[in-house]
């Protein structure tokens, strides 16, 4: 097909390499998340107490555990509104209030809720706050730097010596020899999610000038790919002199003298906030710093930049019906008049966006859709993902609300205000598409409301997460005896009672989800792994969420274990658009009546 003909047929080819070097860039300072919390919505939404403003010059409070709980009332038995991640800082009242269940002090924070200083501090220069000062970058599709573990690695608590590394890592010399000979391959990355220029609304905008000082991922040093500010960041203050000057907050409890806390398995996805080089008498090695302040040998991790794919804004020459081409080596077809036959015509690139006429026919047992630009050309249904209005409008549409439309058959997601569609993209839903979600890897169908929102949280390879708010019914059954044992161990820990070595082991297994004997989700063989800091998670049903996926680029094809996977760019845009908004400084929020309704989600065939 000629270049002119291809342009006439395809509105756009949206692919991982679609941006020219000149167009690559980040959001400018004027285009920050705080400048436009709901980037394109024309709707005014009431958010109750979430609309409360902090007084000018209000003092602050910082989180000193991985997730500092925000309670509705100064009472640990009151509703959990959300949480602040380690190092996160929020505004508070100057004076504490009385309450229940807190050994320290209760403070009211803004815009709502209360925090106990058992999990926080009012000292803004506290070493732990300074150590965890790198926050998720909310202006970027990937809020952290990411990588995948290539070989099982220890998670060090302090900078290890050469001898300690040799003791902790099997066949270390052989590993380092291999790494040196494959360094260029292991360190290589491609243009990724954070390299696509975004406008103030979070929409990908080719041609936007990059921010000053911007460099694409392909030009970053291996240190910067792990979160370092420069290619020569020093060892952080809290690790100087071979010591650790802040407590272990990983949740994996070990003695103070321990060199590392747990190991991380192959294929695990990790998030990083810093990196530095070490030298022990000529033995040099780079380490990455994870969000929970553990150290991972960089030689055992392959950096990753996520997919650069993104959806399209509607209403500017792009209107439904249209389709994305979701496969490679696809052609248009000519339908032979008077015969049950179709012949291939012109090639169409993967992820080309093609306007459709709205007509469909069946030929030779295949369903075809007619293209709008050249009505002699048709596309096979199996090669495309079609964007059209739903067959039935959900309740939210009739009320003029914001709502999210997810089609399982088409693998598309469309953002609506009432019956006006303004943004569309490809997704990956449960790999069994429209089966029974209780017995297959399918996404649950129905009309829902968002239940919780999280900037980033860990998921395992089955998309289970500690922030899921419920299971999908595929977990091991818990007998009454085992349930009683779990309750006993947890209460003993809360009371500070001394536990036997066996009970300590059982309690640790319960916390880590390792032991199906005690009612924890069964791990399914050696292919299971963890995905840390999955970005922009929004749960709409127990165990089912919309979230960004940094580990694949097959959007448009079913792939997940039930969640709705979006590209990082699209996941961030949707997260910022939905209600309720996440308060400044918070990392996650549990939707409740005191903050307005969660945005509606309609999942259907």
* pLDDT one-digit tens code per residue, 329-341: 999 999 999 999 9
pLDDT tier, 516 (very low <50, low <70, confident <90, very high otherwise): very low
Q: Please tell me the predicted confidence (pLDDT) of residue 305.
A: 97
Q: Tell me the torsion sign for CA atoms 342, 348, 351, 357.
A: negative
Residue 178 has pLDDT above 50, yes or no: yes
Mean pLDDT of the region 324-329: 97
306: left (phi over 0), alpha (psi -120 to 50) or beta: left
Q: Which residues lie below 8 Å from residue 313, measured CB to CB, with a gap of 6+?
A: 203, 422, 423
The model's pTM is: 0.85
Q: Tell me the torsion sign for CA atoms 295, 298, 300, 304.
A: positive
What tokens appear for 314 in the block? Answer: 């509607």
198-202, 217-221, 477-481: which has the minimum mean pLDDT?
A: 477-481
Mean pLDDT of the region 514-525: 35
Residue 211 has pLDDT above 90, yes or no: no
Q: Please tell me the predicted confidence (pLDDT) of residue 562.
A: 95
Pairing mode, if any, of strands 420-426 and 366-371? Answer: unpaired
Q: Please tell me the predicted confidence (pLDDT) of residue 510.
A: 63
Q: Please tell me the predicted confidence (pLDDT) of residue 369.
A: 98
Q: Which residues lie below 8 Å from residue 416, measured CB to CB, with a gap of 6+?
A: 396, 397, 402, 403, 404, 405, 422
Mean pLDDT of the region 308-332: 96
User: For the segment 45-94, what is each residue's pLDDT rounded down to a tens digit?
Assistant: 889 999 999 999 999 999 999 999 999 999 999 999 999 999 999 999 99
Residue ranges with strand state E in 223-316? 260-264, 269-280, 283-290, 295-297, 301-304, 312-313
What tokens appear for 251 in the block? Answer: 């949740």
User: For the segment 212-247, what is each residue's pLDDT rounded down to a tens digit?
Assistant: 889 999 999 999 999 999 999 999 999 999 999 999
Structural domains in the chain, sorted by start: 1-20+321-388 (no CATH), 48-131 (2.30.30), 145-304 (no CATH), 401-604 (2.40.440.10)
Can you tell me the distance from the alpha carbon of 456 to that of 239, in angstroms, rounded to the nearest whole number? 26
């Amino acid at each position: 097909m000629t270049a002119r003909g291809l342009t006439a047929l395809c509105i756009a080819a949206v692919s991982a390499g679609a941006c020219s070097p000149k167009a690559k860039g980040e959001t400018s300072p004027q285009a920050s998340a705080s400048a436009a919390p709901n980037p394109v919505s024309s709707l005014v939404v009431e958010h109750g107490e979430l609309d409360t403003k902090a007084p000018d010059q209000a003092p602050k409070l910082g989180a000193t555990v991985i997730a500092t709980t925000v309670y509705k009332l100064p009472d640990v038995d009151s509703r959990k509104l959300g949480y602040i991640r380690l190092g996160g800082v929020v505004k508070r009242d100057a004076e504490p209030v009385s309450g229940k269940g807190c050994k320290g002090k209760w403070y009211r924070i803004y815009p709502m809720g209360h925090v106990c200083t058992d999990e926080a501090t009012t000292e803004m220069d506290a070493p732990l706050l300074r150590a965890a000062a790198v926050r998720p970058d909310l202006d970027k599709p990937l809020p952290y730097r990411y990588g995948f573990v290539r070989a099982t690695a220890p998670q060090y608590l302090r900078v290890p010596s050469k001898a300690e590394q040799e003791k902790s890592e099997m066949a270390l010399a052989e590993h380092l020899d291999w790494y040196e000979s494959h360094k260029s391959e292991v360190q290589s990355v491609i243009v990724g999610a954070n390299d696509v220029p975004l406008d103030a609304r979070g929409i990908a905008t080719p041609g936007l000038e990059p921010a000053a000082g911007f460099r694409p991922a392909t030009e970053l040093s291996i240190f910067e790919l792990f979160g370092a500010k420069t290619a020569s960041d020093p060892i952080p203050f809290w690790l100087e002199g071979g010591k650790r000057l802040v407590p272990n907050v990983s949740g994996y409890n070990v003695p103070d003298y321990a060199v590392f806390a747990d190991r991380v398995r192959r294929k695990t996805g990790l998030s990083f906030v810093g990196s530095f080089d070490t030298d022990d008498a000529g033995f040099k090695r780079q380490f990455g710093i994870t969000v929970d302040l553990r150290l991972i040998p960089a030689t055992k991790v392959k950096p990753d930049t996520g997919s650069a794919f993104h959806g399209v804004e509607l209403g500017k020459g792009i209107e439904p019906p249209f389709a994305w081409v979701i496969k490679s080596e696809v052609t248009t077809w000519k339908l032979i008049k008077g015969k049950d036959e179709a012949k291939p015509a012109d090639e169409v690139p993967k992820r080309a966006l093609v306007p459709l006429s709205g007509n469909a026919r069946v030929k030779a047992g295949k369903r075809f859709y007619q293209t709008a630009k050249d009505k002699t050309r048709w596309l096979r249904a199996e090669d495309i993902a079609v964007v059209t209005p739903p067959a039935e409008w959900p309740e939210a549409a009739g009320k003029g609300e914001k709502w999210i439309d997810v089609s399982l058959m088409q693998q598309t997601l469309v953002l609506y205000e009432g019956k006006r569609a303004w943004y569309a993209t490809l997704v990956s839903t449960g790999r069994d598409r429209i089966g029974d979600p209780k017995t297959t890897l399918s996404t649950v169908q129905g009309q829902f409301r968002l239940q919780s929102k999280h900037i980033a949280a860990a998921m395992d390879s089955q998309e289970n997460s500690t922030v899921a708010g419920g299971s999908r019914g595929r977990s091991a059954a818990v007998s009454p005896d085992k349930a009683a044992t779990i309750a006993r161990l947890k209460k003993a820990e809360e009371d500070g009672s001394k536990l036997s070595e066996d009970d300590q082991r059982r309690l640790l297994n319960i916390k880590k989800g390792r032991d199906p004997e005690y009612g924890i989700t069964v791990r399914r063989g050696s292919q299971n792994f963890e995905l840390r800091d999955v970005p922009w998670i929004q749960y709409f049903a127990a165990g089912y969420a919309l979230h960004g996926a940094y580990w694949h680029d097959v959007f448009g094809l079913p792939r997940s274990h039930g969640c709705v996977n979006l590209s990082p760019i699209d996941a961030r845009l949707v997260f910022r658009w939905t209600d309720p908004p996440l308060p400044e400084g918070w990392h996650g929020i549990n939707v409740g009546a005191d903050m307005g309704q969660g945005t509606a989600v309609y999942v259907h065939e």
